[in-house]
Structure 1
């Protein structure tokens, strides 16, 4: 199994209530049931307000590297991630668990 983690940081001057952000959050919230390779899907806002904290996170689980690649190239994932490119940066980690 592979745990896929993504942490998002909103760009300077972009607020959580920005219409682009709200649309991006909605797109990610809807991904779970759309992509069959996802065994688990969680996403949401960070609740801490520390300087080093990221703003939004995705925590997902897939079966193997092939499933991860299928998820990453899925059109729904590509569309959702494309929205976030407009207003955020992110870091990822893929852990074999």
Structure 2
């Protein structure tokens, strides 16, 4: 099993209520039901306000490395990533559990 973690930081001057952000969040919320490789799916806004904190997170699991590749290449995932590229940066970690 592999856990895929992604932490997003909104670009300077971009707020959560920006229509692009709202659409990007909606796209990610729908991924859990649309990509069969996902064995678990969580995404949400950070609830703390600390200088080092990121704004939004994805936490999901897939069965193995092949499933991770299929998830990353899935058209719905690619479409969501394209949206987020317009208003955020992110860091990831993929690790076996």
Aligned length: 97
Residue 3 of structure 1 deviates from its aligned partner by 0.2
Q: What is the RMSD of the two structures over their aligned residues, measured on CA atoms? A: 0.2
- Whole-Å separation in 1 of the counterparts to 2:66 and 2:88: 27
The corresponding residue for 2:40 is 40
Unpaired segments of 5 or more residues in structure 2? none
- Whole-Å separation in 1 of the counterparts to 2:32 and 2:96: 20
Residue 32 of structure 1 deviates from its aligned partner by 0.4
Secondary structure of the residue that 2:54 maps to in structure 1?
coil
The corresponding residue for 1:6 is 6
Residue 12 of structure 1 deviates from its aligned partner by 0.2
Residue 50 of structure 1 deviates from its aligned partner by 0.1
TM-score, with normalisation over the residues of structure 2? 1.00
- Whole-Å separation in 2 of the counterparts to 1:91 and 1:82: 15
Unpaired segments of 5 or more residues in structure 1? none
Residue 56 of structure 1 deviates from its aligned partner by 0.1
The corresponding residue for 1:70 is 70
- Whole-Å separation in 2 of the counterparts to 1:33 and 1:56: 19
Give the ranges of 4+ consecutive aligned residues of structure 1 lying more than 4 Å apart after TM superposition: none
